[in-house]
Structure 1
């Protein structure tokens, strides 16, 4: 992050998985990116712990579903972010969600990571936000 020419945020990473908390996080991050004139990096970390990967046929189906989801992310980003002038890109990686988000944030020198709460009711915070916060190398924003 050193040596940036801009005061404020230049790059915001947001984790998306298709769930409502991640959609809320992406909407909040998009607003922040618009106000800060920052680039938004939409990141999908494809979970390899999915039982679909346990067979060759399941792996093929899971991989196709991931590719389709990333394509949908691109279409949605173009539809919602282009008209309001937010620069964006999509990154698709595989592995543990928290580690994947931090790895992408490190590689692209992101200023912060935004994620949805992802807890199971009761306002609890899920394991991905907890892991990110516990090992934070940059600000983590958890959106309900």
Structure 2
């Protein structure tokens, strides 16, 4: 599993915490560059600032099933799209982390979105997970990432519209 991890903003130091009594200490936001993904990041950043928590932003590079069957040129275009989204997120996070004085950890993972977000939350010891609502109509039938996280998670999940 490939990962890219970057830190922005002030240095985060863990403090005393007891789950369920002091509020979240680590807020994890699963993001992409969709409008709901960006709203989820903004909501999570505001929450982390108000709670004096660390913000972990996770972007999952999730190639489609068809990318394995596509021609090399199509795969290259998809990789360039991922690289551009990562660049946009990196720039926005670096700017906002300083502006809000929130420690931000940016993690890029590769794989299927749901299991990667779930594992990132476990790896980062997240107290709260924030994701954007799905904008795809078919997810009402088969379930969105947010829906799957809500059903299987052991931590609170906020789905931002």
TM, length-normalised to structure 1: 0.86
Residue 52 to residue 105, structure 1, CA distance change in 2 (3 Å): same
Aligned residue in 2 for 1:27: 42
Q: Secondary structure at the match of 1:92?
A: strand
Residue number among 107, 110, 128 corresponding to 2:145 in the alignment: 128
Please list, as runs of the form range in 1=range in 2, the aligned pairs for 1:1-144 lying within 5 A after superposition: 5-6=16-17, 7-49=22-64, 51-54=66-69, 55-120=71-136, 127-144=144-161
Q: Output one character per residue of 1:61-94: Cα deviation in whole Å (capped at 9) or x when no partner.
A: 2222212211211110111221110110211112
Total equivalences in the alignment: 140
Q: Output one character per residue of 1:3-37: Cα deviation in whole Å (capped at 9) or x when no partner.
A: x7233222111111111111111111111000011
**Conserved in 2, the CA contact under 8 Å of 1:41 and 1:88?**
yes
**Conserved in 2, the CA contact under 8 Å of 1:53 and 1:62?**
no
**Conserved in 2, the CA contact under 8 Å of 1:52 and 1:61?**
no
| C-alpha RMSD of the superposition | 2.2
**Conserved in 2, the CA contact under 8 Å of 1:16 and 1:42?**
yes
Alignment partners' CA distance in 1, 2:46 and 2:68: 36
Alignment partners' CA distance in 2, 1:53 and 1:111: 36
Q: Which structure is higher in RCO with an 8 Å CA cutoff and minimum separation 6?
A: 2
**Conserved in 1, the CA contact under 8 Å of 2:33 and 2:89?**
no
User: Shift of the alpha carbon at 1:53?
Assistant: 4.4
Q: List gaps (5 residues or longer) in structure 2.
A: 1-14
TM, length-normalised to structure 2: 0.77
Alignment partners' CA distance in 2, 1:75 and 1:94: 20
